[in-house]
Structure 1
């Protein structure tokens, strides 16, 4: 039987074929597999839900280690322990069903639970750093299996010290939530608080409208979600951009130390990259629902996605002097 390609293992549905695939259904097997491959000097890539990977085409000299350990347990009334391979949205559904608040705004985000601390997943005014207490890691440098506090991960906007380093593999995570009937204040509802179930459905509805909930029949969801992080720039540059565009209420959020966080989607649109850019004949295009998603229209390659990303980056940098940074991990490109 042939080895599956990354096109079948990632939400962008592009990518070549790994030399081998190892599926790990327990945390212990995951740690042992990585240890064995490291000892043999075998290049590897950790694959959870595949929603944050852009992998090159062709035969790839690496082993894909599939994170397939699943399960959610209550440590106490408010603490969840979650296996790394658990579908993240199942975690949110579990919390809401058990009257636990704090992650309802993260409904519908694709991928696995183990990936959430790596890039400090967030949406609608909430992020995993708000509720993460500790993480079980296999430390590839010290060859140890250990629980570490969330404070040791340097969590920041879409960042942790696990991201891009490959220094450790997430085996399990723990979240401390709140017994409540009301949601956190929801940014997309103007800061309103609603019931947990209403909050979850509202977020899912909003994400579906943007093509951000996976649907195999909808090419707008053949993506890696938000492809670029929102840039943080000096306030003076933000002022210049606002003057250039000449619109009231440019999205901008104080980021400390004279810095401002801007909306990548807003910049992309104002630079002239519309929904569906660059056009109907292109195999890779911006989503027709949301300009922050780069999508595979059914026949795109990894090179097509990468070329579109670079084109959008170039347009925004030329127009506004802002460099957009991709959120997905690029492999072999």
Structure 2
């Protein structure tokens, strides 16, 4: 098999968990690091848009053709090493996974090996390479908690670089990698990077504890499911099983037979407001979580639900002549927008805009979509 194989006229609907999106000019499937770097480099040299894709679980692509190259990372390797200079007790183990490794495969592997730190992130779709870009998180944990460093192809410097966790400037669903999408590139004549940012992740390394027990449980719902207090620990295997059960109950574990999982997971980030704005805009009873920067984070799901947009809701514009929705809020969780089986990207976009408008009208708060938008401007 060649390191990279080209395929004719694939569509992004075939490559994403939303199952919507138009045809792409070229798909390259890379099964080595050199093949991936070569494909990206060739696209950049030709001035062709380039999308590096893993699991396709955080992308909403428009129905229009994508006139560029989609580079799909097929690599899936996990290795271990001991952290240098570690102490004699609970020595951290460095676990490195190639960017194309499915995220949950890494989590499952770590739990099976008796390592802790990733268990609360079980069941999240997508690849290891995408996880630090978004600083994915769930149930009180996020990638920034355990990431040590990553290797990436720097499209500007045209070389492989190692970026330490401190250099990634992690925030809530944010990193330097993601911010680069908003920065003009001198290498591209001042055009914005995108749809992949300046750095294409090649592999990521995490520091995990060899204890067999979880990191402290930070999320009340998970603590209740485990029968422990917030801040307590539990066997990592138990935490993983509980998280998978909770995610499945909300349609957040991929299942081809369940249209509630034909989505990009949580579609909107939780709004983070200045204290004055929170006091002015948030109604009594709305969740309020203080952040490390003195701001107030609230729940997008609560705002949607209390704006009169319940589970399964859809505007008339995305329904057929019989009133059956082509796209709707999940029937299990209002934060997920779902393809009910025959949706177009335009249907999903219309649903998202209707939700944004509904929350703005009710609370004066503008929700921000979390997935990467390709061919769509919010």
TM over 0.5: yes
Query: 2:35 matched to 1:29?
Result: yes
Q: Which runs of 5+ in 1 are unaligned?
A: none
Please give the secondary structure, in 2, of the residue aligned with 1:114: coil
- Give the 3 Å change call, closer, same or farther, for CA 225–262 of structure 1 in structure 2: same
Query: 2:48 matched to 1:42?
Result: yes
CA contact (8 A) 2:222 2:243 kept: no
Q: Which runs of 5+ in 2 are unaligned?
A: 1-6, 83-91, 182-196, 224-229, 316-322
* 1:78-227 matches, cutoff 5 A: 78-163=93-178, 165=181, 166-186=197-217, 187=219, 188-190=221-223, 191=230, 192-227=232-267
* 1:245-324 matches, cutoff 5 A: 246-247=284-285, 250-278=286-314, 281-324=324-367
Per-residue Cα deviation, 1:240-274 (whole angstroms, up to 9, x for no partner): 444x4x43xx3211124441000110111011110
* Aligned match of 2:369: 326
CA distance in 1 between partners of 2:172 and 2:66 (Å): 31
* Aligned match of 2:272: 232
- TM normalised by structure 1 equals 0.95
Please give the secondary structure, in 2, of the residue aligned with 1:89: helix
Please give the secondary structure, in 2, of the residue aligned with 1:108: coil
CA distance in 1 between partners of 2:160 and 2:222 (Å): 41
* Aligned match of 1:66: 72
CA contact (8 A) 1:16 1:58 kept: yes
Please give the secondary structure, in 2, of the residue aligned with 1:78: strand
Q: How far has the Cα of 1:170 moved from its partner?
A: 0.2
Q: How far has the Cα of 1:153 moved from its partner?
A: 1.0
CA distance in 1 between partners of 2:357 and 2:175 (Å): 27
CA contact (8 A) 1:27 1:172 kept: no
CA contact (8 A) 2:281 2:363 kept: yes
CA distance in 2 between partners of 1:153 and 1:28 (Å): 24
Per-residue Cα deviation, 1:17-70 (whole angstroms, up to 9, x for no partner): 100100111122211211111111111111110000111113221111101121
CA contact (8 A) 1:44 1:62 kept: yes
Q: How far has the Cα of 1:181 moved from its partner?
A: 2.2
Please give the secondary structure, in 2, of the residue aligned with 1:113: coil
Root-mean-square deviation (Å): 1.4
CA contact (8 A) 1:53 1:224 kept: yes
- Runs of 4+ displaced beyond 4 Å: none
CA contact (8 A) 1:133 1:175 kept: yes
